[in-house]
Amino acid sequence: MKAARYYGKEDIRIEEVEEPQVRPGTVKIAPAFNGVCGSDLHLFHDGPIPPAPTDTEPHPISGETLPVVFGHEFSGVVEEVGEGVAGIAVGDHVAVEPLMVDGTCAACKAGKYNLCEKMGFIGISGLGGGLSEHIVVEERWVHPVGDIPLDQAALLEPLAVTVHAVRHAGVDESAKGKVAVVGGAGPIGLLTAAVLRAYGLTTVVSEVSPERRRTAETSGVATVTVDPTSEDLIQVVREHAGDEMAAFAFDAAGVGAVVDQLLDVLGPGGRLEVVAIHTQPHELDLTGRLTMQDRVIGSSVGYANDHEEAIRLVHEGLVDLAPFITSRIVVDDIVEKAFHKLLDDRSEVKILVSMN
């Protein structure tokens, strides 16, 4: 079968590989669409970073070294089910929660399997990937999506990331009507705003790119957008929240200056949730910015038991994923039309890749 395999920095090859066989407790899927995300960009442009293996160091769960089949944000159609699988049938449309965990560490035993000591990702760490004609996945990671279109279903993985972040920040029924500020309107920032709107919050999206601000506006996930380089973010938040200021802020940019801007608009007792990955350390005045304001700062990664809620939000029409699909390409064009294009084109949100 055909698959896109990741060999390392700037090296992805479309090759023929052996077709995987279904085993007891597993499901065989024909991937339909695969989204390209920030992790994929880092791997392509910068080279292997954990939990990706290297060409000499295997991942502890998959046992694989490079090359590995690429792609972890994917949907597909069930082709075959293994012995013992229940609740999933041939022909079902599904999304895959692309994790690999050991199930034995303290985090896994506590139900926080996204924090597994050996955690890896299908499509990054081995065990196949969405950029292939067929993949076999353990039943626990396969989520039927009903009538959600398969292209939109490929976005359920990043949507689950943002559902997890919003839940982790403590947003619940009592938060309805409160103001949340999202810093950064890339895919994760936009989907974070979408989840916050679904839960009844007023969303202020701060973003320097006019194209991304426009997406936040036209998709309806932003109550208001702000260009922090030319507009007064503090004043805009005050206009919507009064002197209470924002109850929640979400860093989806991964830039220290954005963290500072979000703390500027966070009210006393508010919470800043860091969703983005920061590649550089950031200096923070803990006493002045947190302690004396009784604020909380937290961070979240991945998802754990969040896919079902993501699916519910889409099924009930509370989140519309369609506006975030900005391009569809075939796998043969992935380097030029995805990995190179995403470096400069700020109008792109999610590029979907098909094997056909």
Residues 149 and 314: beta-carbon distance below 8 Å: no
Pick from 228, 273, 348: which is nearest to 338 by CA? 348
In sequence order, the 6+-apart residues with CB closer than 8 A to the CB of 93 are 32, 75, 76, 77, 78, 144, 145, 146, 147, 148, 150, 153
Q: Measured between alpha carbons, how far is 195 from 161 in angstroms, rounded to an integer?
A: 10
Fold (CATH) for 2-155+321-354: Quinone Oxidoreductase; Chain A, domain 1 (3.90.180)
Q: How many CB atoms lie within 10 A of CB 156?
A: 30
The pLDDT profile of the chain, 356 residues, written as one tens digit per residue, is: 999 999 999 999 999 999 999 999 999 999 999 999 999 999 999 999 999 999 999 999 999 999 999 999 999 999 999 999 999 999 999 999 999 999 999 999 999 999 999 999 999 999 999 999 999 999 999 999 999 999 999 999 999 999 999 999 999 999 999 999 999 999 999 999 999 999 999 999 999 999 999 999 999 999 999 999 999 999 999 999 999 999 999 999 999 999 999 999 999 999 999 999 998 999 999 999 999 999 999 999 999 999 999 999 999 999 999 999 999 999 999 999 999 999 889 899 999 999 98
Within 131-201, strands assigned E span 135-138, 142-144, 179-183
Q: How many CB atoms lie within 10 A of CB 148?
A: 20
Pick from 144, 155, 135: which is nearest to 91 by CA? 144
187 upstream amide cis, omega within 30 of 0:
no
**Paired sense of beta strands 202-206 and 179-183, if any:** parallel
**Token match 């449309």: residue?**
93
Within 282-349, strands assigned E span 296-299, 325-330
**Paired sense of beta strands 11-16 and 2-8, if any:** antiparallel
CATH no., domain 161-299: 3.40.50.720
Each domain of the chain, given as residue ranges in start order, spans 2-155+321-354, 161-299
